[in-house]
Amino acid sequence: MTQAEIKALFTQMTLAEKIGQLTQLPGHFYSNDGEITGPIAELGISEEIVHQCGSTLGISGAAEVMRVQKEYLAKSRLKIPLLFMADVVHGYRTIFPIPLAMGASWNLELAQESARVAAAEADVAGVHVTFAPMVDLVRDPRWGRVMESTGEDSYLNEMFAQAMVRGFQGEHLESGRVAACVKHFAAYGAAEAGRDYNTVDMSRLMLRNQYLPAYKAAIDAGVKLIMTSFNTVEGVPATVNRWLLRDLLRKEWHFEGTVISDYTSLAEVVNHGLASDLKDVAELGLNAGLDIEMSSPSYVKYLAQLVDAGKVRLADIDEAVMRVLTLKNELGLFENPYRGANVELESKLHFSAEHQAVALAQAEESLVLLKNESNILPLSKEKKVILIGPKATARDHIGAWCWKGDKRETPTIEEALLPYFPNMKTVEATTMDEDIGIADAVAQAKDVDVIILAIGEKRSFSGEARSKADITLTDMQLRLITALKQLNKPMIALVMNGRPLDLHGVIEHVDALMVCWHAGTQAAKAIAKTLMGMSVPSGKLSMTFPHSVGQIPVYYNALNTGRPLKNFAPVVGYSEDYLSKYLDIPNAPRYPFGFGLSYTTFAYSDITLSKAAFSKGESITASLTVTNTGNFAGKEVVQLYIRDCVASVSRPVKELKGFQKIFLAVGESKELHFTINEEMLRYYHADESFSSDAGDFTLFIGTSSDDDARKIDFSLV
């Protein structure tokens, strides 16, 4: 439809019909197949209102979507199609690695391709909007939803946000694409104590410099919707936060898309203590700039009254409704309310070999090798191995937001390894009596060359409402490792996890450890290929692995403090004793952001700069040569960090400003060039102005955020 036709349709709408477009109901109001993805709240609304509501979440599947849409339109006076939304976060039926694992791939093209595949499978299943990408910056592995984020770095999250929006939406929501909804706006990942839905409170400076940029990147990439978060931002719940939704999002960032709440997050404003009932929250939400209320009834119950009482402006309602109608029009729903839903195509596309190939490639590039003593990996087929652990025959590699992923379609590690080791024994070691299970595992491992441990977290240990205060492995797994250690045999740990873990009790006992995450449908195959050297690990952590939970929050781009343990410049006499440190653990994390090993080794030359100083409008080039000095062809993520040495606010000791993931054959060298310009040096000042300062900077290029082996100074004049 043309905008004029939309306008003409709009003028026919009654107030009740307008308000209906601003309400999204859970799928079970329209379909028994509707997935419940939040607390079930009976809303106490009439059948008539149900059929005036403009969108639903949780229904998917071509046949069911078409049935619901047909029934809905038959009851719709103005034939405005229902909008179908769903949580296709890291795959629809072909499940990709959890986003935290994708972040560890540092492969933006692959992430974009993964999102494209997810969109293609979602589109034929009748989904119009996906609630992704989730771009919340995360620094606390106790929080269960770190699995859904690409990690702790703002720049890396911005890059992935753009890649995923492009993958989901394509150029203009063409066939095979869906509208994306970036979430959760804003700073949901900073929940105090890592406890889901807990208070978020930080300076405006921290918000702007670290937590907000990835949402902005998604908006600049053209994302069609944004979802407000459950938490408060500066004391006001994001869902009713005028500064966030009107001043920042609309006036400063010029976002023209649709703002949708999280599941009942509008109604929950009563619990936050800013409203005494749903009528109050309806007023707060609409006036703050919330367009669609998800799964709670305050808009449909009270907005009409609030208009009559002059508490909300009809003009604001009209603006919100026009945004929703525009979204439906951009999706082509007025021409074809069934859009891409197609039963035949669905069966062909879902879980297709082509899609599995993308999932396999993504899984391979997401695995992170943290330890490989005496190059025990890759394994030779001649070795006599045993597979031991509770994850050996598990199929739950598909993570917490696995939509229609079917774990029965997910091979186990045992199944993936048997072709290489036909005589391999497998011992799950999980029996009612753990000691018996452990003793059995030890007995069966006595005559093997290598022990492969399949350990880690259940997928139900991470995800929404799945925070954990203890991020070590289970007691049984730790006792199993200690018992097997007595055999003095080489041990390789495969850790399946949804978060950074405290690896105490594992890392010191094993010869090799690979972080495998919940790496999706093709996880086991990717792990087996990597163990056998048919794939060479190239992943780099996108979130710090702490020494222990006591260190949290611990992240690479921290401020230096006045008494840093490292690089302390004693401007006045302080004793070594009075520095920022613990008495009982190191400051350094177990494994830092950007860390990951390969089967090969890479040598980095010194950095050269085209110029040591430049001014605004100019740029300089940092160059160096990287050489594959090992015995395997492989990929390396070459990382560029910059430190602003003197600024108007305290700045991080370094910040990621660029990276290149390169492939090098054995013995091959590549000269890499990084352009440095003034825009990269900008930051938010205390007065919220965004600009760079002339002055001195230090540039680092290396294989991890803790690689300070080569650095060079430059100045902005």
By the criterion CB under 6 A, which residues form the site for ligand GLC? 37-38, 57, 87, 131, 183, 262-263, 464
Q: Which residue is catalytic, options 123, 136, 262, 511?
A: 262
In whole angstroms, the minimum distance from the beta carbon of 35 to ligand GLC comes to 8
Query: Whose CA is closest to 499, among 132, 159, 140, 103?
Result: 140
Tokens 């993931």 map to which residue? 661
Closer Cβ to ligand GLC, 239 or 522, answer by number: 239
Closer Cβ to ligand GLC, 238 or 640, answer by number: 238
Token pair recorded at residue 58? 């949780």
Closer Cβ to ligand GLC, 89 or 620, answer by number: 89
Q: What's the rounded Cα separation, in Å, for the pair 91 and 356?
A: 11
Of the CA atoms within 13 Å of residue 323, those in its CB half-sphere come to 21
Closer Cβ to ligand GLC, 38 or 498, answer by number: 38
In whole angstroms, the minimum distance from the beta carbon of 267 to ligand GLC comes to 13
Closer Cβ to ligand GLC, 161 or 676, answer by number: 161
Q: Is residue 470 flagged as an active site residue?
A: no
In whole angstroms, the minimum distance from the beta carbon of 296 to ligand GLC comes to 12
Closer Cβ to ligand GLC, 37 or 560, answer by number: 37
The burial of 415, by beta-carbon neighbours within 10 Å (0-12 exposed, 13-18 middle, 19 or more buried), is given as middle
Residues 449/384, Cβ–Cβ less than 8 Å? yes
Token pair recorded at residue 596? 């990951």
In whole angstroms, the minimum distance from the beta carbon of 245 to ligand GLC comes to 17
Q: What's the rounded Cα separation, in Å, for the pair 477 and 603?
A: 37
Single-letter amino acid code for the residue at 246: R
Query: Whose CA is closest to 479, among 436, 450, 426?
Result: 436
In whole angstroms, the minimum distance from the beta carbon of 144 to ligand GLC comes to 11
Tokens 């911005």 map to which residue? 158
In whole angstroms, the minimum distance from the beta carbon of 295 to ligand GLC comes to 8
Of the CA atoms within 13 Å of residue 463, those in its CB half-sphere come to 18
Closer Cβ to ligand GLC, 183 or 397, answer by number: 183
Of the CA atoms within 13 Å of residue 146, those in its CB half-sphere come to 31
Per-position DSSP letters for 105-123, written without gaps between them:
HT-HHHHHHHHHHHHHHHH
Single-letter amino acid code for the residue at 648: S
Provide the 3-class DSSP secondary structure of residue 348: helix
Residues 170/176, Cβ–Cβ less than 8 Å? yes
In whole angstroms, the minimum distance from the beta carbon of 26 to ligand GLC comes to 9
Q: How far is CA 506 from CA 392, 443, 453, 494, in A?
A: 17, 20, 10, 11
Provide the 3-class DSSP secondary structure of residue 104: helix
Enzyme catalytic residues: 262
